[in-house]
Structures are given as structure tokens and as C-alpha cells.
Structure 1
Amino acid sequence: MSQFQLSAEHEAIRSAVREFGEQEIRPVADEHEAEHRYPHDLLREAARYDLVAPHVPEEYGGAGMDTLGSLVVDEELWYADPGVGGSIAAAAFGSEMLLKYGEEWMREKWLPRVTAGETPIATAISEPAHGSNVVGMETRAERASGPAGDEYVIHGNKMWITNGTVADVMVIMAKTDPDVGHRGITAFLTPTDVEGIRAERITNKLGIRAMDTAELVFDGLRVPEENVVGEVGEGFYQLMEFFAPARAAVAAQSVGVAQAALDASVEYANEREQFDRPIAEFQAIRHKLAEMATSVEAARSLAYRAGSAIESGDDREATRLASMAKLFCSEHAVDVTDEAIQVHGGAGYVSDHPVERFYRDARITKIYDGTSEIQKNIIADGLL
């Protein structure tokens, strides 16, 4: 059974990120939300504090944090604001693939730029007709010869791609052999300022509006053979290795927004008066706050247990606990933020208070990196 223990260093990380969030993120969160504006300047500022891709080794500009440290960063960035803080937390989505399977030139060229906040990285997986069904993807990469030598030509359509319009580099998952299922998918690395890529930002989202989400169209994108990440035909299996860390990160994000909603509710309950006394004195409100706090604490414990299992290298335990954490934390984040609106009453239903945004933002955690239904399948598979 995996155990976890936050060290003094982890708590120092929490304090540093909390301070950054209060001083730099929260004052501008509303305007970024209203304008659907990606926080380019804050990304560079966050990099000065090692908050962008903190798991990346120091040799590539990262902080070399362990899994628990990275989860604390994710939690606190989402505590500050899921849209702006979440953009910073998601800036390295794809770096793990380069770290484990990329060539050294890939790591040396791109990871220092990511960790410095110069550019986020994107990973193009989901498609309009294929989300959870990764094997069903229709994007194709066909071998060809070009002026520079052997290459692949990619055609296809990707949807819901984080950092899709703001990243200077991306990892694309495409089928190199459509007839062999799981073994026909390959990962490719490409800069985005080349012909054959069209990106359109998706702005009509319920929440996380400052975070960049895009639809991508690949029309004759030419990628040199040397830009294959890992092995041809092994992309699916490479990708599966990173779902446990990604799901643990979503669990931590869920904890962060739930904690923010709880803290806002406690503050409001002490200030708001009805019948000549603060509503915090009414049992109905006190019970809501007690249940919210218990959910947050239980979720945090499960998220950290998942992180500890990932750090231990026990893949089976990591997969099991990461899916449990992702399921539990995301479901309870939605419940807690919903109750936060109830505590605020009518005031919680408008944007004068942040809880309505927390509720909208929390909802995505039940969908991306594997829906709650997918997590239940994984957990049941492990049991049976």
C-alpha cells in the first residue's frame, strides 16, 4: 500500500505557489476570464519561480520536483484560479513524452523553452469523433520522400487540444498503420510555424476560459522521419504510460478549486447576515461547510496517495490509485463548488463572487484525461 508524507520542502513549495497565486494570478483572473485571454506574461513570470513544468530535470531548466511536489504546484495554481493558474499548470502537457521517449536533440531544443515560459507545448490526441477511444483516431501519417529525405505526411483533424493555438511545438498522435489497431499509432514532434497546420481557438466553453483550447486541422503536414518520438507503431503504449501522472494532476487540480470554493464559502458565511446574525451560525450552513471540508480533505489524501504510488514506480498501483483519485476528486470538486453556490445563495449565481466561476471550471475535471465513466471501467478492470 502506497504511503505519502509531505516534507518541509513540499510545504515550502505550497507557500511559494500560494503567494504567487495571491499576488500575481488572482488580481488579473477576472479580466483573463472575461476576455478569454491566455496568460502569456504570467507564464513567463511563473517560470521565474520554477512553476512551469516543475517535474522537468534541472538540466533542461526545470526544478526536478518529485511527483508530490508537482501535485502541490498543480493544486495551488488551480486554487489561485483554474483558468489562469490552469494554463500555467498545463503548459508542459507533452513534456513527459519528450523526456522518456524523445531524442536528446528534442529535449535540448524544446524543454528549456517550455520551462522558461517562452512557449507551452501541446499534445494532439482527441478528435471530433474519438475522445476516449484513442485507437479509433482517424488522423493518418503516410511515409513519403521529400527534398530533405524520408518524411511522413499527416492528414487529419484534432479537437479539444490544450495549448493548440499558443504552442510553438506539439506532439501529434497519428496512425502509421491503420490495420493493426493499438500497434499502428505513432507520436510525432513538430514546430507549429510550418505549412500544413491550421489551428482555431475554441472560445464557447463553459469554463477555464483563459486556457487555450483548439481545433487543429492537418492538411499535408510534412514531418521529417527524425521527428518520430520513440518507436514507430508504439505511440499508443507510450501514451498510456503518462495517463496515471496526468490523472493524478487532474485530481490535484480538483482539490485546488474545491479548496478555493470552500474558503470562499467560509468567508462569506461569516460575513453574510440573515435574521440579525451571520449565516455561519445556522446549522444548515454549518453542516454544508463540514461536509465540504471533509470531501476536500479526503480528496487531497487520495490525490497524494496516487502521487506517492507514481513516485514508487509501482505501475499497477499507480494506475489504480490515479483513476480512483481522478474519479473521486473531480466528482467531489463539482459537488463542493455546487454547495459553495448554495451557501452564497443568489449572490453565488452571479459573477460578483468567484464561486460561480469555480463551479463552471470544476466541471471539466470530470471529462478531460479520461471521463469519470472511463475511470470506473479502469477501476473495475483492476478489481475483476
Structure 2
Amino acid sequence: MLIGLSPHHEQFRGEVRDFCGKVAAPALADYDLDQPPSPQQWAQILNHVLDKGILDEYPRTEDGSPDDLAFGLLLEELARTHHVLAYHSLQRLHAPLIFREMLSAEQATRYHAAFNDRRASVAGCFSEPEAGSDVRAAKTTARRTPEGDWILKGRKTWVSGASHAKALIVYARIVNDASEGSLGDCGLFIVTPECGYSTHPIRMMGLRAHDLCEVQFDDVVLPDISRLIGNVDGAVLGTIARARAFQGAIAVGLAQAALDMAIGYARRHNAFGHPIGEYQLVQKLIVEAATGVMTGRLMYVQALNSQMAGDGSTARMESSMAKLYCTQTAWRAVSKAMEVFGSLGLTEECGIERLFRDARMLICPDGTSQIQEMVIGRAYTGLSALAR
């Protein structure tokens, strides 16, 4: 049993792995996933993977509360199959769960489909071209009209799943009179496709099946009910902190997939009359990759256990550690696994080069490695590297 996992979590992990082998992998086999699936293809994929008891709802503990550790295990196994299912689950299961708690009764009714439809997804719009890790530097604005509506103006980037989301959660600066709030306050707004924003795909070196977009808001009119009321900054920062541990789980899944491929190849490919897995230098590559995968898994499991225990400051620090270590280690582990294949590892035919590109992509989202180091350093010293 893996340290940090209960028998319940071990059982769930086995069920997800079985689901991925029997259901998820066959559902993706017929698609070119070097580009985002079309809406029709998404519908076909979801028809195959939903209603199987795994991707239908966010995992829960025995008392009914969200089970973040189980969700992390789910993301790892999905990423081991293909990253597209892992990131879609983040948008379809995790994002609605976080922001659903901030909905008023009237909002819950109005936006019910976006937050409860099992085929819908919600995309968070936090980053901007000049406000990535520093979300408080956002320049997108929401201005109150005399009629009580809001006018949203600005541009968001690095938005996951914006082109097919049922709703966007947009972080914006409030610009209105003193009775409603001063310039510089921030708010969260629910924006549906009917409001009239535009999306533009971002083509990246990896994660190419992932629907990554830039979103433009050109004086988009929103009803007053679209504004979420509550601890806005706490919700945004809490979402990002938890997402860092989940990125660690996804990174471990990608690295595990590459390790699986390398082990299989080392056993069946012969050189000088013997399987290459018999040679010490090949075994060294596999050992280094496997060690990285195992330690990365322990890191994200620890972070999510702290999250579930309600230890906020420790969980935030450990989530940054998991994001930092798992993503960096996954990239190195995939590289080691790729070397086992020799020149074949560089070809698209092999498939491991896609994992190499995907793993490299994970180092930047939800805070670069340098941002994670600043968070961890502040937790240990009590001193902020940003206090200048």
C-alpha cells in the first residue's frame, strides 16, 4: 500500500485504473489527439466514458465531503491514459465544485445547467497577458451601469476549455461609484456564451488536445445576478493552490505512462543478442525514472491529505512543493524513459515524444517553478521575496 492512502483509496485507485484500461483508452483510440477534439468528437467521447461510475461526479468521503485525494488519484490515472481526460475532469468536476459554494439560491437556479450538467464544463479566467502569477494585477474591468448591469472589458489568456465551456468564471477589477465599491476591488463574474465574448485558440508545443484559449471581452453586458458574492480573493487563491497539487498528480500520470512504455520496450527489444533491459545502463535510466515517479506520487498525496485535513497554510506550501517537484521530475523521468528507445523515442510513431512535450508544458501553468519556490521559501522563513 502506498504511504498516505487508505484501503478505500487503494480500492478506488484500482477501479479507476481498470476503467481507464477497459473504457477510457478504447474511447480515445480512434481520434487524432494532437489537436483539440471537435464538439462532435467530444460528445462521442463523453458518450463512451460517462455513466460508468467513475467520471460522473466528484469523489466523496464517507461523510459526503469532497475527497480531494481520490480526485488526485483519478487525475493521475486519467493522465496516464491521456491528458485530455484529466484536464476535462478538472473543468467538469473540480471547477463547478469550488465555485458552486459561492452561488446564491437565485444564481444556483439561473446557472443550474452550467454547474450541474454532467456534460458541461466551467472555465476559470484568471490570467492575463500582463498578469499571470500575479492575478491581483488583472486589468480586465467590470463597470456598473446606471441600470444595474455590468460591462465587462478586457482580455484573459491561458484559459482551459473556454471554447466549449457552459460558463466562464472571470476575475475582474470593479470600476464603479463609492456606494458599490472603490476602484481596485476585485470581483468574480459568471459569463455564459450567450453574453457574446470571443475565444481564440492558443497552439502550444504540448498538451495539444487540450482546449487552451485566449478570451476577449469587448464591453460584454452582464446582468447583476452574474456577480459572485463572497471571499473572492480567497476563492481564487484557494483554487489555484489546490490546482497545484492536481497538476502534480497529472505530471506523475504522464511520467508513469512513459515509464510503462520504456519498461515494455526494454523487455522486448534486443541488441547484441539480448533484451536491452539486461544492460545496466538501460536499467539505470529506468530506475531513475521510476524513482522520480514514486517520490512525485508521495509528494502530491501528502499535499492532498493536508488539504483534506483542513491545514490551510501547510496545504498551500505542500501543494507548491508537489507542483514544483512533480512537474520538474516528470519532465526528467520522461526524458530518461525516452532514452531507452534511442532514436525511435524521437519519432511520432513511438508516442513517447508526445509525453515529453506534454510533461514540459506542465512546469509553467498554475505558477512557474520560480513562483513555487517563492511560496515555499516564504512558508519556511516567514519572509516574502516580493516585499520590496
Compute the TM-score of the two structures, normalised by the length of structure 2: 0.88
Do residues 302 (structure 1) and 299 (structure 2) align?
yes
Counterpart of 1:165 (choices 146, 163, 166) is 163
Match of 1:43 in 2: 46
What SS class does the counterpart of residue 161 from structure 1 fall into?
A: strand
TM superposition shift of 1:183: 6.0
Do residues 54 (structure 1) and 63 (structure 2) align?
no
TM superposition shift of 1:23: 2.9
TM superposition shift of 1:297: 0.7
> Which amino acid in structure 2 is aligned with residue 352 of structure 1?
E
TM superposition shift of 1:57: 9.7
- Percent identity between matched residues is 26
> Which amino acid in structure 1 is aligned with residue 137 of structure 2?
G
Asked if structure 2 preserves the Cα contact closer than 8 Å seen for 1:47 and 1:116, the reply is: no
Asked if structure 1 preserves the Cα contact closer than 8 Å seen for 2:19 and 2:54, the reply is: no
TM superposition shift of 1:182: 11
What SS class does the counterpart of residue 23 from structure 2 fall into?
A: helix
TM superposition shift of 1:266: 0.5
Distance 1:113 1:5, change over 3 A: same
Q: How does 1:133-144 map to 2 (within 5 A)?
A: 133-144=134-145
Match of 1:375 in 2: 372
> Which amino acid in structure 1 is aligned with residue 347 of structure 2?
V
Question: What are structure 1's unaligned runs of at least 5 residues?
Answer: none
Asked if structure 2 preserves the Cα contact closer than 8 Å seen for 1:96 and 1:242, the reply is: no
What SS class does the counterpart of residue 216 from structure 2 fall into?
A: strand
Match of 1:131 in 2: 132
Asked if structure 2 preserves the Cα contact closer than 8 Å seen for 1:45 and 1:117, the reply is: no
Q: How does 1:286-301 map to 2 (within 5 A)?
A: 286-301=283-298
TM superposition shift of 1:223: 1.5
Counterpart of 2:312 (choices 312, 315, 323) is 315
Distance 1:375 1:318, change over 3 A: same
What SS class does the counterpart of residue 142 from structure 2 fall into?
A: strand
Distance 1:265 1:321, change over 3 A: same
Counterpart of 1:340 (choices 337, 341, 348) is 337
> Which amino acid in structure 2 is aligned with residue 7 of structure 1?
S
Deviations 1:287-320 (A, max 9, x none): 1111111111111011000000000101011011
TM superposition shift of 1:33: 1.4
Asked if structure 2 preserves the Cα contact closer than 8 Å seen for 1:24 and 1:42, the reply is: no
Asked if structure 2 preserves the Cα contact closer than 8 Å seen for 1:75 and 1:254, the reply is: yes
Do residues 152 (structure 1) and 150 (structure 2) align?
yes
Do residues 31 (structure 1) and 31 (structure 2) align?
yes
Deviations 1:149-201 (A, max 9, x none): x1211000111110110001111111004999996211011211223x11122
TM superposition shift of 1:65: 4.4
Deviations 1:225-261 (A, max 9, x none): 2221124xx5223211222211111111111111111
Match of 2:386 in 1: none
> Which amino acid in structure 2 is aligned with residue 139 of structure 1?
T
Deviations 1:326-357 (A, max 9, x none): 10001001001111111111111111122111
Counterpart of 2:243 (choices 233, 236, 246) is 246
Match of 1:99 in 2: 100
TM superposition shift of 1:7: 2.5
Do residues 364 (structure 1) and 361 (structure 2) align?
yes
What SS class does the counterpart of residue 198 from structure 2 fall into?
A: strand
> Which amino acid in structure 1 is aligned with residue 161 of structure 2?
N
Deviations 1:57-97 (A, max 9, x none): 99xxxx85411111111111101111344333433453244
Match of 2:229 in 1: 230
TM superposition shift of 1:31: 2.5
Distance 1:40 1:263, change over 3 A: same
**Structure 2 CA distance, aligned partners of 1:57 and 1:124?**
29
Asked if structure 2 preserves the Cα contact closer than 8 Å seen for 1:44 and 1:118, the reply is: no
> Which amino acid in structure 1 is aligned with residue 142 of structure 2?
A
**Structure 2 CA distance, aligned partners of 1:165 and 1:94?**
16
Distance 1:29 1:332, change over 3 A: farther
